[in-house]
Amino acid sequence: MTLDSVHKRTCLLLILASALLLGNSPRANADIVATLPNYDGAVSFGTFPSSTTIGDFTFSIPAGTSVIGATISGTFGNNDDPGTTTTSAPADLYVDNGAIEVAACDDGLTFTEACDTGSSPTAWSYTFTSSDLSTLASDFASGSLDLSAVQNDVFAVNAGSLTLDIVVSPEPNSLWLMGTGLMSLACLFLLRRARTHTIA
């Protein structure tokens, strides 16, 4: 068996080993965070329910990754004007043009809940289900997700500390191709180097 054949077999074994390792190795996930500033709605005594747009989260999903989870969080009320914007009018918050409800403040209109009568902003959080993620696939692809409010009674919708946390994971095929490709290039380099030394 020639030295060149040994090098070729060694490279083939290294490529196969790297492919197996990459295929079975854990893949690091990454967080993509988008935020919206505090929102202070206009005081309203009109007809309810009424809808208003709070804003659009903007982000960029890296190529070669897929969204595997997402959480949205914020507060009803903020500290822009303590005593005035500290709480919110009864309201429901939605993403994707009203497709998914992510938070609710005093749906029973009792005016006894912390979100509309408390002394400080009231935190809320929503974790999207796998079904939600499927519904939002086109939003993730476009890099934008809207947040809106449906006001259910008088005064103003106030919100603060709005955060969208998207978890992405490398796609297995992309990681596998990149790893085996790099190993193949390394083997080609070693083979050429070995042939050069043999000729010399």
Instruction: Report pLDDT for 112.
Output: 94
Instruction: Report pLDDT for 170.
Output: 87
Kindly list the structural domains of the chain, giving each domain's residue range(s) and its CATH number in brackets, ordered by start: 30-170 (2.60.120)
Kindly report, residue by residue over 1-47, the tens digit of the pLDDT: 454 565 566 666 665 665 555 555 556 789 999 999 999 999 999 99
* pTM of the predicted model as reported, rounded to 2 decimal places: 0.75
Q: 108 is written with which tokens?
A: 């029973």
Which residue, among 106, 119, 104, has the nearest Cα to 154 in the 3D structure? Answer: 106
Instruction: Report pLDDT for 3.
Output: 47
Instruction: Report pLDDT for 43.
Output: 95
CB of 196 within 8 A of CB of 76? no
User: Which residues does the chain have with pLDDT short of 70?
Assistant: 1-27, 171-200
Pairing label, strands 144-151, 50-58:
antiparallel
